Amino acid sequence: MDLYQKDVVSIMDFSKDDIEGILDMAEEMVPYAKGEKIKRSLDGKILGNLFFEPSTRTKLSFESAAYRLGCDVIDVSEMSMTSMAKGETLADTIKIVDAYCDVTVLRHPYEGASKMAAKFSDHPVINAGDGAGSHPTQTLLDLFTMRQAKGSLDGLNIALVGDLKYGRTVHSLAQGLTKYGMKISLVSPETLKMPDEIVQHLTENGCSPRIRTLEDAVAEADVLYVTRIQRERFPDPSEYQKVAGVYRIDNALLQNAKDDLIVMHPLPRVNEIAPEVDKTHHAKYFQQAANGVPVRMAILNAILGGEM
Amino acid sequence: MDLYQKDVVSIMDFSKDDIEGILDMAEEMVPYAKGEKIKRSLDGKILGNLFFEPSTRTKLSFESAAYRLGCDVIDVSEMSMTSMAKGETLADTIKIVDAYCDVTVLRHPYEGASKMAAKFSDHPVINAGDGAGSHPTQTLLDLFTMRQAKGSLDGLNIALVGDLKYGRTVHSLAQGLTKYGMKISLVSPETLKMPDEIVQHLTENGCSPRIRTLEDAVAEADVLYVTRIQRERFPDPSEYQKVAGVYRIDNALLQNAKDDLIVMHPLPRVNEIAPEVDKTHHAKYFQQAANGVPVRMAILNAILGGEM
Amino acid sequence: MDLYQKDVVSIMDFSKDDIEGILDMAEEMVPYAKGEKIKRSLDGKILGNLFFEPSTRTKLSFESAAYRLGCDVIDVSEMSMTSMAKGETLADTIKIVDAYCDVTVLRHPYEGASKMAAKFSDHPVINAGDGAGSHPTQTLLDLFTMRQAKGSLDGLNIALVGDLKYGRTVHSLAQGLTKYGMKISLVSPETLKMPDEIVQHLTENGCSPRIRTLEDAVAEADVLYVTRIQRERFPDPSEYQKVAGVYRIDNALLQNAKDDLIVMHPLPRVNEIAPEVDKTHHAKYFQQAANGVPVRMAILNAILGGEM
């Protein structure tokens, strides 16, 4: 797949071959991402970070990825606020950012914002999360982390745990998993279960998910993908406490896991994973966060036409 | 004019020849501004963006301009807030920024702030708007946009439309227009009309402006320069609605315009220009915003002694 | 001392020889810090500025220092706020920043935060002030400023003036002074006097401090180190006014000073030093602020392994 000057709006726009190609490029980027080797393939380019929602982790790893390739970064998030306050349309804001930068990275609360932005931009737009659905670069770094640990993604048994209702990360990831025919288990409180349309999408694509208890899921899984259960989702604090206590990963729980189970989390975590897990060989969530840099380097380099 | 190590405080400090020289340099910068060619003439230099008022458009285009030349940027606007809160004088703040950077770009609510800053700085200061009067780099990019479209600026018929009372952009621009003997029409609500001292300045410099209706101005103009009428200027919302409805540019209104009329706006716009105008060949406001980059590149390069 | 990949947590970790070595390197950095010469020894590296407290002066001079060496900068301070709000631990935040950068510069309200951060980071951590005690890079630039003016630091007579209770700068500096056997005078309101544990540390290290009036201290001192007395430390505004009036340096007071007395201040100042002093040859506080750049360049270059 030739990504040159292409938009990155949804993981659904990529075939399995496309994804594998990006992950291969990301693999090559690792020593540059760590600063062990220097690459200036995007020298003179400018990336515009346009975040209408706070998402420092994604924003900063794009920034780090750009710098590792010699690309400069403009943070236009402040403009997003002041322009909206003055009544400017998203289309106008996008056009201005497009005039100052070679690529726009957009985070927006409304679904479809990235698609619209891509329409109004001459330069490529990368969706860094819009609405409840799409976050393609997060999905790519999640898949990269699994492939790095497992060698291959085909047919892995993965359990998605925690808040499956609001978490854009798991929705986007679920769409990616179908490309690899993964066995998907869903583990969540009833009030935070996976939306019907995503379950339907999984089923239609041959990955009909199973509802599991945490214990059963842990026993079977190759990958445990844990998400944060947000306190503010629960009107009643005691209700939150109960749920947060049940969906917590600790070493006792992992006793029954496969030896090569990996535990992932998009971070930040609060109580979902006990700190004692960090020191086990299961823990891959910090590696996963670090992987944001090489994966986004690969995407930026391909889109902006940097040499490999 | 040799701009090396010079301050840029007011458009009045520049002769017509100076302005033409800067616009010529800006023209050469265009392919670099677009990222089509790479220029690193200011490699190792640092620009300090010191904004005491939010003005993301100006700030970001200075940032983009700097990066396109290899110059780094420090955003010292946060310092402006915390230092003021602690009771530091502007003079002290300026001296510190001056110690960390090679050039300071200053936006300040008070007229004369840039002149004072220039006095306290060893390095050059660029006025990015101070008080209600001066915004020389905006005026230069406005003139650049007109010259780009028209070939020459001499004797153009220009209508200034909207809020002519508070808009620093039009005040600064009006001063620039006199250098080219332009025919100036003023179109505004009575409560937002051009201040007497600027009308007097125009008259004394041979460009006595005429008060026009929007319809008459549109029929005669080569350039329609529209500004935003801010809701907060009107204590009575219904009064705002009435005015905003009257001073609105749409395709019906432009039926009577010259075929080569260009419509400009410093942006952001709200309702002053209908989106349908965007697709006409009259619309130059997005081009105008984009022109902020090559024009500011030319200024920075000249001030900091970069090779052309 | 080989600083390569070392943390910079406390000035107490450095021997006198270490300090002299850093100051020598800083001296070499001066022409690069001023932009007179270009150095790209840290090209491709990334510094993460993680400030849990506003401290723009320190943050910006680290930024300027990094850029002067070709090192990019990510401001992760916003992340510090949003992650804390979501309940993330400092350890987790540190690990993420560590994954995106080659060195973390940390400002934190709690004493010991830097030491803890260093434990959780693979890359080096530089303490940019934690709690009331440590601010080693400020101390190094203070010592650099004195050595620059005096030639040698040994046995200088220094008066610490103003808020000696809360000022982290003077606490950290006091610890550095003992390495040079300085004669230390303390001048402060009773309510803002130097904490007992620091007086004890000075005494144990052969620099038993003397309590002095401002007049006596000025007459004897080689260095007058003045700090800001913060209005908010005084519940009663009239009490603040009285104190602020007494501990104010002006030209009349300096009549009795040695001819080569230097006056220093970490800035921002409010009323502690009259502006008339700025023009005297005693005033070194703006030079001191500027010295933040070459000193921090020396530290960054040594830690990240840049060529000299």
Per the CB < 8 A criterion, the answer to whether B73 and B308 are in contact is no
Residue C72: both structure tokens together: 């990019």
Please report the pLDDT score of residue A86 as a whole number. Answer: 79
**Cα A218 to Cα A164, A221, A251, A260, distances in angstroms:** 17, 5, 12, 12
Question: What average pLDDT does range B266-277 have in this prediction?
Answer: 93
Helix or strand (DSSP H, E) at C216: helix C214-220
Percentage above 90 pLDDT, chain B: 81
For residue B186, give both structure tokens.
Answer: 């003023």
Q: What are the φ and ψ backbone dihedral angles of B126, each rounded to 5 degrees?
A: -110, 125
Helix (H, G, I), strand (E, B) or coil at B207: coil
Residue of chain B nearest A80, judged by CA positions: B56
The answer to whether the beta carbons of residues B160 and B184 sit under 8 Å apart is: yes
Closest CA to A162 of A173, A177, A148, A146: A173
Is the pLDDT at B138 greater than 80? The verdict is yes
Contact A100 B269 (CB under 8 A): no
Identify the bridge partners of residue A160 per DSSP, sorted by sequence position. A186, A225
Alpha helix positions (H), chain B: 16-33, 56-68, 77-86, 90-100, 113-120, 136-150, 168-177, 196-204, 214-220, 237-246, 251-254, 285-303
* Residue spans of chain C under pLDDT 70: none
**Cβ atoms A136, A81 nearer than 8 A:** no
- CA distances to B16, B191, C222 from C158, rounded to whole Å, are 57, 62, 6
Give the 3-state secondary structure of residue C266.
Answer: coil
A39, A43, A67, best to mutate vs chain C, most C CBs in 10 Å = A67
- As annotated, the residues of chain A forming the CATH 3.40.50.1370 domain(s) are 11-132+292-303, 137-289
Structure tokens given for A228:
């944060």
Q: Give the CATH class of A11-132+292-303.
A: alpha beta
Q: State the span(s) of chain B assigned CATH 3.40.50.1370.
A: 11-134+291-303, 137-289
**Which other chains touch chain A, taking contact as 3+ CB pairs less than 8 Å apart?**
B, C
Residues of A in contact with B40 (CB under 8 A): 44
CA C206, CA A283: separation in Å to the nearest integer? 51
Contacts of B87 in chain C (CB under 8 A): 231, 268, 270-271
- Rounded alpha-carbon distances, angstroms, from residue B275 to A20, A92, A203, B248, B305: 42, 10, 43, 11, 41
Q: Which residues of C touch A267 (CB under 8 A)?
A: 88, 92, 96
Structural fold of domain C11-134+291-304: Rossmann fold (3.40.50)
CA separation for the pair B9, B115 (Å, rounded): 6
B49 neighbors B105 (Cβ within 8 angstroms): yes
Nearest to C82 among A56, A64, A67 (CB): A56
Q: Alpha-carbon distance A39 to A35, whole Å?
A: 9
Query: A-C interface: how many C-beta pairs under 8 angstroms?
Result: 63
Alpha carbon C61 to its chain centroid, in Å, reads 11
Q: What is the mean pLDDT of residues B50-58?
A: 85
Chains touching B (at least 3 CB pairs under 8 A) are A, C
Best A41, A47, A74 member to test B by mutation, with max B CBs in 10 Å, is A74
Helix H, strand E, coil C: the string for chain A is CCCCCCCECCHHHCCHHHHHHHHHHHHHHHHHHCCCCCCCCCCCCEEEEEECCCCHHHHHHHHHHHHHCCCEEEECHHHHHHHHHCCCCHHHHHHHHHHHCCEEEEEECCCCHHHHHHHHCCCCEEEEEECCCECHHHHHHHHHHHHHHHCCCCCCEEEEECCCCCCHHHHHHHHHHHHHCCEEEEECCHHHCCCHHHHHHHHHCCCCCEECCHHHHHHHCCEEEECCCCHHHCCCHHHHHHHHHHCCECHHHHCCCCCCCEEECCCCCCCCECHHHHHCCCECHHHHHHHHHHHHHHHHHHHCCCCC
User: For an interface test with B, which of A67, A100, A116 has the most B Cβ atoms less than 10 Å from its Cβ?
Assistant: A100
Q: Give Cα A236 distance to the centre of its chain.
A: 29
Contact B268 A86 (CB under 8 A): yes
Residue pairs spanning A and B at CB distance below 8 A = 63
Task: Give me the pLDDT at residue C232, please.
Answer: 76
Q: In chain A, what is the greatest distance between 2 CA atoms, to the nearest angstrom? A: 57
CB contact C102 to A (< 8 Å):
yes
Residues of chain C with CATH 3.40.50.1370: 11-134+291-304, 137-288
Instruction: With 0.90 as the threshold, say if the pTM is over it.
Output: yes
Tens digits of residue pLDDT in B21-34: 999 999 999 999 99
Do A215 and A253 touch, CB atoms closer than 8 A? yes
B253: confidence class by pLDDT, cuts 50, 70, 90: very high
CB B213 within 8 A of CB B148: no
Q: Where are the alpha helices (DSSP H) in B101-212?
A: 113-120, 136-150, 168-177, 196-204
Using a 10 angstrom Cβ sphere, with 0-12 exposed, 13-18 middle and 19 or more buried, the burial of residue C238 is exposed
Report the C-alpha gap between A184 and A202 in whole angstroms: 9
Distance (Å, rounded) from C-alpha A149 to C-alpha B270? 51
Which of these ranges, B113-117, B216-220, C237-241, has the smallest mean pLDDT?
C237-241
Q: Which of B45, B86, B96 sits opposite C289 (nearest CB)?
A: B96
CA distance C291 to C56: 15
Contact indicator for B225, B160 with CB cutoff of 8 Å: yes
Site of tokens 């601010």: C135
CB of C217 within 8 A of CB of C224? Answer: yes
Please state, in angstroms and as integers, the Cα–Cα distance from residue C275 to each residue in A83, A270, B14, C285, C286, following that order: 40, 51, 33, 12, 12
Contact residues, B window 31-50, toward C, CB-based 8 Å cutoff: 43-46
CA–CA separation, B19 and B13 (whole Å) = 10
Domain A137-289 has CATH 3.40.50.1370: yes
A206: left (phi over 0), alpha (psi -120 to 50) or beta: left
Question: Which CATH fold would you assign to the domain B11-134+291-303?
Answer: Rossmann fold (3.40.50)
pLDDT at residue A78, as a whole number: 76
Question: Which is the CATH superfamily of the domain at C137-288?
Answer: Aspartate/ornithine carbamoyltransferase (3.40.50.1370)
d(CA A52, CA A130): 10
Rounded CA separation B80/C144 (Å): 27
| pLDDT attached to residue C244 | 79
DSSP bridge partners of B264: B225
C176-224 pLDDT tens trace: 999 999 999 999 999 899 999 999 999 999 999 999 999 999 999 999 9
pLDDT below 70 — which residues of chain A?
A: none
Its ipTM equals 0.94
Q: Which of residues 62-81 of C touch B (CB under 8 A)?
A: 63-64, 67-68, 70
- Rounded distance, CA B270 to CA A83, Å? 10
Which of B56, B57, B64 minimises the CB distance to A101? B64
